[in-house]
Each structure stands twice: as structure tokens, then as C-alpha cells.
């Protein structure tokens, strides 16, 4: 049986736009980030990919990216597992500071 692992980074966040360290802080996606997530979903659908399960971090920007992608794929009910191990690195006191 063939298996395929697809890795996708979350769409642009408000802090990405401002060039700030994010880490475990949880800014929302920008309009561009929403569009990026939807585009990723459409690209995967164009390749006729369907998934058995999804994994995402505990951060809302990653979860929202996944949700938007799954909407485009028509797989809104897909089993999803949330794991802290998939969160971005914790920047500690650097979070919120300019890069």
C-alpha cells in the first residue's frame, strides 16, 4: 500500500506580516493567509488527493489553515488530531519582538 505524507505550513499570520517572532503566541491569519490556505486545498484537490487523517498543532492559525484546506478538498469531517509537538518553537521573551 502506498502512503503519502503532505506537510503544509500555516498561512500568513498577522505577526508574519509585521515580521514579529510568533512561536506559541497565536495571532490570526491575514486575508492573504486565508487565501494561501484555500489555494493549498485547491492544489491538493487538483492532484486528486484525499486524506485518511490530519494532524495539526494546537495553535489556531494552523487549525484554521487546515480547516480552510479541508473545505476546499470537500473533507470537512476528516478525523483530525491536535498535537503540541507540532507547535512552532517557543521563542520565549522574543515572542512579539521584531525579527
- Domains in the chain, ordered, with CATH? 14-88 (3.40.50.1240)
Annotated catalytic, 79? no
- The arithmetic mean of pLDDT across residues 5-10, rounded, is 96
Structure confidence at residue 2 as a pLDDT band (50, 70, 90): confident
Nearest C-alpha neighbor of 10 from the set 20, 30, 83: 30
For the stretch 20-35, pLDDT in tens is 999 999 999 999 999 9
Structure confidence at residue 89 as a pLDDT band (50, 70, 90): very high
What percent of the chain is predicted at pLDDT more than 70?
Answer: 99
Q: Determine which one of 10, 31, 58, 84 is catalytic.
A: 10
In this prediction, residue 1 carries a pLDDT of 65
Amino acid at each position: 500500500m502506498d502512503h503519502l505524507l503532505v506537510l503544509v505550513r500555516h498561512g500568513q499570520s498577522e505577526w508574519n506580516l509585521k515580521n514579529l517572532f510568533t512561536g506559541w503566541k497565536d495571532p490570526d491569519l491575514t486575508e492573504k493567509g486565508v487565501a494561501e490556505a484555500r489555494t493549498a486545498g485547491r492544489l491538493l484537490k487538483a492532484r486528486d488527493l484525499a486524506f485518511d487523517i490530519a494532524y495539526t498543532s494546537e495553535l489556531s492559525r494552523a487549525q484554521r489553515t487546515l480547516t480552510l484546506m479541508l473545505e476546499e478538498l470537500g473533507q470537512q469531517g476528516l478525523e483530525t488530531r491536535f498535537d503540541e509537538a507540532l507547535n512552532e518553537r517557543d521563542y520565549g521573551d522574543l515572542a512579539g519582538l521584531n525579527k
